[in-house]
């Protein structure tokens, strides 16, 4: 780390950090790297470093959101995928 990065991190030295690993990079990920310090992003794995007050609560919130997202995705896949014309013909 260079001197600037150490100075930025000094106020947060004794805070809890949580690394959120991504399975894939979100759209526009490269643009965020232009505006935020490189120390916020994972170097070996894609992810984001977050400073948190309660890491257990954040972990639970992330898991709840991920589970909800998966359920919504599965419900969309189970939903009838026929075309609008097929729906119309099937009703008569």
31 within some domain: yes
Residues 6+ apart with CB under 8 A from 9: 1, 39
Q: How many domains does the chain have?
A: 1
Whether 84 is covered by a domain: the verdict is no
**How confident is the model over 38-92, as pLDDT tens digits?**
777 767 777 888 888 888 998 899 899 999 999 988 887 776 667 777 767 765 4
Domain carrying residue 9? 3-79
Provide the whole-model pTM.
0.53
The kind and range of the H/E element at 51 are strand 47-52
Q: Is residue 88 part of a domain?
A: no
What was the pLDDT predicted at 63? 92
Question: Which residues touch 55 (CB under 8 Å, ≥6 apart)?
Answer: 16, 18
Residue 9 confidence (pLDDT) above 70: yes
**Is 89 inside a domain boundary?**
no
């Amino acid at each position: 780390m260079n001197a600037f990065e150490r100075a930025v991190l000094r106020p947060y030295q004794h805070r809890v950090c949580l690394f959120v690993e991504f399975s894939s990079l979100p759209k526009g990920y490269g643009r965020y790297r232009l505006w935020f310090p490189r120390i916020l992003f994972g170097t070996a794995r894609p992810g984001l470093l977050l400073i948190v007050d309660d890491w257990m609560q954040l972990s639970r919130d992330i898991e709840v959101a991920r589970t909800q997202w998966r359920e919504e995705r599965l419900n969309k896949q189970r939903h009838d995928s026929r075309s609008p014309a097929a729906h119309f013909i099937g009703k008569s």
